[in-house]
A and B are shown apart, each in its own frame.
Chain A
Amino acid sequence: EVQLLESGGGLVQPGGSLRLSCAASGFTFTSYAMSWVRQAPGKAPEWVSAVSNRGDDTYYADFVRGRFAISRDNSRNTLYLQMNSLRAEDTAVYYCVKTATVTTSSNWGQGTLVTVSS
């Protein structure tokens, strides 16, 4: 069974930094691209970032490019999201997602809440 367990969320002041982690199990981590998706209260989900299976290609939404960095440690089956220069509008639940492929659907973690407030 695919399991994705996010951690690292919390309360941070505007301008601050936070690093999210996602521990993956139940599948061959090195075979799949991974993504972060966020959802602000009462809003639709927003795709944030993705990384290729080997970690050599990264992709970002315009609203986080230059502030957030996605990475993965395939030896630890763990995905990361380093978030810098945080803004109030970054407040959301952040989900770790095993990205869909041509033959399989996506899998989602339960999310971790990030609150940016003074």
Chain B
Amino acid sequence: DIQMTQFPSTLSASVGDRVTITCRASQSISSWLAWYQQKPGKAPKVLIYKASSLESGVPSRFSGSGSGTEFTLTISSLQPDDFATYYCQHYNSYPYTFGQGTKLGIK
């Protein structure tokens, strides 16, 4: 099974900051990676799919990059609505495992 290691697990930042979250796969997953945002009591929301494709309706301050085993999610200028938990998930082969999450809080 492919393991996904996500870091940092927690992150404190201010409105307007640029933040980066990293996800590392235990073996190559090509570009088969998605990033999600989740708020309490809600289902995960797709932000990025196929490593760098922006989901329709998601603000352009979110971007994804990487291929193979190393991937990043970048928020170019944090907005108040962005404080949430973020997860990566690969979909290269079953089981489609998730990273352990990054909780983004207000500094």
Contacts and interface: CB of A to CB of B under 8 A. Distances in A.
Contacts of B94: 47, 50, 59
Interface residues of A, number: 21
Contacts, number: 50
Looking at chain B's contact residues, is the secondary structure mostly helix, strand, loop, or mixed? loop
B100 A44 contact: yes
B73 interface: no
B87 interface: yes
Looking at chain A's contact residues, is the secondary structure mostly helix, strand, loop, or mixed? loop
Contact of B43 (A99, A102, A104, A109): A109
B1 to A, nearest CB: 8
Interface size for chain B: under 10, 10 to 19, 20 to 34, or 35 or more residues?
20 to 34
Contacts of B97: 47
Interface core residue of A45, A46, A109 (most chain B CB under 10 Å) = A45
A95 interface: yes
Interface in A78-103: 95, 99-100, 102
A102 B32 CA distance: 8
Interface string B60-100: 00000000000000000000000000010101001111111
A45 B45 CA distance: 12
